[in-house]
Structure 1
Amino acid sequence: MPHTESKLEDLYEHPGHLLRRAQQISVSMFYDEMGSELTPVQYAMLRNLAGHPGTDQVSLSAVTGIDTSTGATVCARLEEKGLLERKVIPHNRRQRALTITAAGERLLEDLVPGAQRLRRRLLAPLSGPEQLQFMELLTRLVNANNEQSRAPLSAPGSD
């Protein structure tokens, strides 16, 4: 057995369990810092839409790393809240082009301080260099295992 492995009898030796716990903690802090107007997934979709205006629901879901049925539901909720508009694409009536509304842009702008607090708070137990290293390693872990996801992340325009 390699020196990095054990019998994994302690649940906290399982990286997946620790990642799940980290996600639980992150979501809890998200609501503390960002309020309850958006869920973390709604925030991610709206934030990505701001960077990719006019994209369709399928592509937005792909760059956010969520499945298309969840993406459609999230877009419908954001539309109900008046934060995005969905319009039929003339050459493909099954797809919807998405644009963020002025209200959506204002909300994202209002959430910037909360997002900054969330990031600082979540990474606070680590020193500055450790924070950079953690983000680098976490990004590498996610990117290297992307294809193992049920909804692999795709780069914008890689369709």
Structure 2
Amino acid sequence: MPQTDDHSDDRGRPTVEDTVLGDLIGYRLKRAYMQIQPEAQRVLAEDDLRVVSFSCLSIIADNTGIVQSELADALQMERSNLVVIIDELEQRGLITRKKVPTDRRRYALTATLRGRRLRDRAAEKVRTAEDQIIGRLDDKDRAHLMAVLQRLEDKAR
């Protein structure tokens, strides 16, 4: 059995004091995300997706005819950063891009059947991956966490 002292955990690993960061909500949210993100990235990579391309595909699938500026706003991204992602999704046959009849400078984005199916399959994989972390919460705590996060997001808009 490893020796422990005031500066190591039960496995003998050194502990690090954290008197400020541990009390910051943003820091705790980031730490939780850092546990979920690698597994989400791994399961998305199985379908040749990244978190950002999955996010774009998901929003497009839920909002037929969305234009690039609306997508950028929804994801809080720069429009110019979306061009490469939209091109990739279109080249893969996951979305279509058609000129908006009332403004030929804008393009309406729509998920194809293939794109919607991929989004649904990938979403299920991500949910399963999240459950490895979030599954530690019971249904009541999970619903409460989602409600609190939604309120925080609503206040930010």
TM-score (norm 2): 0.75
* Residue 46 (structure 1) aligned with residue 57 (structure 2): yes
Give the Cα–Cα distance (whole angstroms) in 1 for the partners of residues 21 and 139 of structure 2.
Answer: 28
CA contact 2:44–2:51 (8 Å) conserved in 1: no
Return the index of the structure with the highest Cα Rg.
2
1:134 to 131, 145, 153: 145
Give the Cα–Cα distance (whole angstroms) in 1 for the partners of residues 134 and 50 of structure 2.
Answer: 20
Give the Cα–Cα distance (whole angstroms) in 1 for the partners of residues 134 and 141 of structure 2.
Answer: 9
Give the Cα–Cα distance (whole angstroms) in 1 for the partners of residues 70 and 142 of structure 2.
Answer: 31
CA contact 1:12–1:18 (8 Å) conserved in 2: yes
RMSD across aligned positions (CA): 2.2
Give the number of the structure with larger relative contact order, counting CA–CA contacts within 8 Å between residues 6 or more apart. 1
CA contact 2:43–2:129 (8 Å) conserved in 1: yes
How high is the sequence identity, in percent, across the aligned residues? 24
Q: Which runs of 5+ in 1 are unaligned?
A: 1-7, 147-159
What's the offset of the Cα at 1:137? Answer: 0.9
CA contact 1:84–1:101 (8 Å) conserved in 2: yes
TM-score (norm 1): 0.74
What's the offset of the Cα at 1:9? Answer: 4.6
* Residue 18 (structure 1) aligned with residue 28 (structure 2): yes
**Which segments of structure 1 move beyond 4 Å, counting only runs of 4 or more?**
none
For these two proteins, the number of residue pairs brought into alignment is 139
